[in-house]
Structure 1
Amino acid sequence: MKLQSFDNIYHIHKKSRVKRWFLFIFIGGIITLFLPWTQNIKVKGNVTSLYQEQRPQQLHSPIPGKIIKWYVKNGDYVKKGDTLLQLSEIKDDYLDPLLVQRTQEQVNAKKGVRNFYEAKVGTVKTQLEALHSARNLKLNQLKIKISQLNNKLTGEEAELTAATNELKLSEDQFARQKKMYDEGLVSLTQFQQRNISYQNAIAKKTSSENKVAQTRQEIINTGIEQNSVIQDYTEKLSKIEGDRFQNMGQIEGSDGEIAKLENQVANYKARQGLYFIIASQDGQIVQLNKTGIGEVLKDGENIGTIVPTAVDYAVEIFIKPVDLPLVKEGQRVMCIFDGFPAIVFSGWPNSSYGTFAGKVVAVESNINANGLFKALVIEDKNEKRWPPKIKMGGGVQGIAILNDVPIWYELWRNINGFPPDYYEVKNESKGYEKTK
């Protein structure tokens, strides 16, 4: 009896196809070994921005104050210049509501004092000019007087010379008359007349000498008076000049105080503008850590974070030190963003789905605290655009594309522990534009 189960289990009488399948698979494997394989480096990173001002930025209170009104809440989108919250003053030095006005009044008062001193300087200048004129007039008068006395002295000296000559002549005549009188040649009357003439000549000379001496004394006295006038006016001018410099010093001091007060006015006005915290750029408000009304903020205290809406996205990837020589500027990197489905064929990146191309624009030369080197990757605008829904800080897996080699070479390289092939990247122009 022929059993059906025996025929289903044992196929001895049937022709085997194992050899054909083995040969088929072997030939296929050989062909596969010669297929191209793209070497790559797998790295991890996250989404960031190429520019510092486009990254999430903390909001800080520029001054200490108390919150009196909120204009936003978490998740709100704001424009540049929008008011986020309003503060009120808590420091005693700034509580006066008329602080700016009162300080401005102090400035005006100081300006009035300065104007007073400026007028005083003008008056002192007029006094100086008057004293200079009076001094010059007095000195000219004394100079004229001295000139007149010198002329008088010249005339008197001439008279003295004439009297001296006349006396000498009278003396000779008197001597001859006396001799003739002694010899009895002239009468006593004649001798007495000659004697009187001689005495008159002596008196005339003495009078002339007294006049010359008196005139010389007047010249000396006038010179002393001239020196006294110079000394007197010099003291007066010095005193007034000192007053002028003192007033000018007061003006300079007033200018300094005015500048200081005006600086305070400007600071007070600027501080009043800081009571309203405004958005520095377009973005979304997140992570607000102050709630309610009446909370007190310290100087520079963090309030929350603003995430810019206009961002030139980039990816920062972290590279192991052993792989660092293989990554250069211009290197092609395939990015896989978290939240976006992707099918990746490691050796055939062009056949992968859900990957986005980028290129390395910078490689940092300093190692990070995590023991890895950081590189920045931007979007390659010549290929498929990056998804618009990516967010700052999102995770990214990167595949740095290297050289194309056969599969057998890649297997041999991995078995022997050799690094991927090193090759130079031709850098292209870095003419990327910033998002407006």
Structure 2
Amino acid sequence: MGIPSDEVVIIRPPESPGGPSLITVSCPDKTGLGCDLCRVILLFGLSIVRGDFSTDGRWCYVLLWVAERGRKETRWDLLKKRLVAVCPSVSPPLVSEINSSDQEMDAEQKPQVFLLKFSCYDRMGLLHDVTEVLCELELTIRRVKVSTTPDGTVMDLFLITDTRELLHTQSRREDACNRLRAILGDSMCSCEIELASEEIASCLQASSSLPPSITEDMLTLEIQDESSNAVPQSSFLSVSVDNSLSHAHSLIQIQCYDHKGLLYDIMRTLKDYNMQVSYGRFNTKENGNCNVDLLVVQNDGKKIVDPNKQVALCSRLRMELSSPLRVTLVSRGPDIELLVANPVEICGKGRPLVFYDITYALKLLEIRIFLAEIGRHVIGDREWEIYRVHLGDDHELCASKDKIVDGVTKMLMGWH
């Protein structure tokens, strides 16, 4: 372990044009820190192409090489600020209290929830453009209810939280509405932001009933069918646990094909299992194949020796890496509904930018959205975030069902 830097997070530009930037994190350790760092990086639309991290149980040192994927220029200063925010604070002198308990780690103050309500005239890609503005403003979408009337008027209701925690101020609310007016132009009719009451929040909760296809097809613990057109032909998945190479740690070895948020999916799974990563190495080859080596211990500091626990962990990792998100189309009477489901972390946080990617994929396919809804449902022993999107009547003129599913899946997985 090296001597910790005075700066918690350092971001170095690429050594050559088009190369990856290097993010260095040096801070006190905590269970799930890797997951939190990867979530922030995923939120900024960056891809981790290589990683190296180690910890002595009290202090950790993380190196992550990240690449931009053709979207808007990364706001590096803001990324650094958000990465620092998820790292445990250091109060000199450094004492044993920095190794905080899991309860202290997850005891985050719940942000205030606001209701964004606006109406406008419908047009192609409208919902994605609105979602993009909200992402740029660092407004997190918690729930959404979007409906289109027969005359083409759209009423959008968003339950949102503010990463900057400034939405209670008049200037921040006016800035958000002005940004929306700028992107929507003359089509916007009204825009209001107010603190959401409990009654409003409960009215915007997702429907308690879900189509049987979700529980029967989407949420089964089966590895995604590799014959699907959305899965790269070179995909390969292997997960194993080896206790013979270290007297103190279990070695988890993973070989798989890369996808957007891959390291996040690994780290959130280990976080949910209360696994502590002492050392890890991650690298992506030019053909998209990835190798991951992780030395881990359970929350009691011991190796994973129980065969049943090994099998359960490997099975969950294979499932999460094969199908981190589930995408399907179902018929709802005369309408077609796109369903996307992804598991929520035990701490309650969901995968970032899912709604952004869904609306972006549909915009590229030139498919209108008639109604959209986001909600959370407990199915079995897990909580799921469910995105339900009713497609416009003209969707069949734009793409077949298979093309829609493949297009959305590839966008979510970063294979477009």
Coarse TM-score class (shorter-chain normalised): under 0.3
Give the helix-richer structure, 1 or 2: 1
Q: Which has the larger radius of gyration?
A: 1
